[in-house]
Amino acid sequence: MAWEDWATAVMTGIGASATPTNLANLLGWTAQEKTGLHPAPPLGAWAIQWNNPLNTTQPWPGAVNVNPVGVKQYRTLSDGAAATVVTLTNGNYPDIIAAFRDSRPAPWWGAAPRSQLDKWGTGSTWVDFVPLTGDVMATLDEIYNMLRVGTTQDGTASMLDALRTGVLPPGAPGAGGPTILQKILDQGAKQATATALAQAVTDLKAAIAAIAVGALTPAQATQLTQAHDAVVRIETALRTA
């Protein structure tokens, strides 16, 4: 059994999927526990020390203490995975579990799961150093396409096109439905490795709010220019993330 097998078993045990994001999150957590390094170094034997990647103290048949704190060495990685699941599901870590079930990138974890990492004993310094994985970047690229290119794969009208024509599509701010902007806020505003994205989203939201349905006034034209500049900053943030 390798670290990846342990990670998959842990995710399955808490009702989450072994997505690239969740595996990156677990590796970052493992590295903080085992090496204190962030971002995580290349995966190696260090990650499965004591068959206990997250250094849980959960008692288990055949397990022995390896330090005064009570961190266990398990007989197998399978035992270590099962013990880790028991620890995570003991009622003390519901927000960490929720973050994994949502496949939420660690840099976007809020105050609650971060405080529960303190309870675990790892601390939360490492979470802001976990890189975004391809599945997340694909989502951000799709949002970028909505704004910049003109349409997404399913033909969604771009917000920039709506700004250019002065006509906001269904689901735009005030129309009562999920908005492209909300998707950006949900997916990108907390991206620690591209802080410019959050500011660009804020600027773009303000610009769109200033544009009414119909002909653009000179003031609204200025806002449109600012919105375009904000989208350029989004593109820059995505390319450098």
Same domain, residue pair 125 and 141: no
Which of the listed residues 105, 129, 153 is the one where a domain comes to its end?
Answer: 129
Instruction: Domain of residue 227: give its range.
Output: 134-240
Same domain, residue pair 76 and 151: no
Helix (H) or strand (E) holding 116: helix 111-120
Please, what is the average pLDDT of the chain?
A: 75
Same domain, residue pair 231 and 149: yes
Same domain, residue pair 32 and 110: yes
Which of the listed residues 99, 129, 159 is the one where a domain comes to its end?
Answer: 129
Q: Average pLDDT for residues 211-221, to the nearest whole number?
A: 56
CA distance 228 to 8: 42
Which of the listed residues 111, 129, 147 is the one where a domain comes to its end?
Answer: 129
pLDDT tens digit sequence for 123-153: 999 998 888 776 666 655 555 555 544 444 4
CA distance 147 to 177: 18
Given a contact cutoff of 8 angstroms between Cβ atoms, the answer to whether 6 and 48 are in contact is: yes
Same domain, residue pair 73 and 124: yes
Task: Quickly state the pLDDT bin for 62 (edges 50, 70, 90).
Answer: very high
Domains of the chain: total: 2
- Of all residues in the chain, what percent carry a pLDDT higher than 70? 55
| Bridge partners, 73 (sequence order) | 64
DSSP 77-99: HHHHHHHHHHHHTSSS-HHHHHH
Same domain, residue pair 10 and 118: yes
The answer to pTM > 0.75 is no
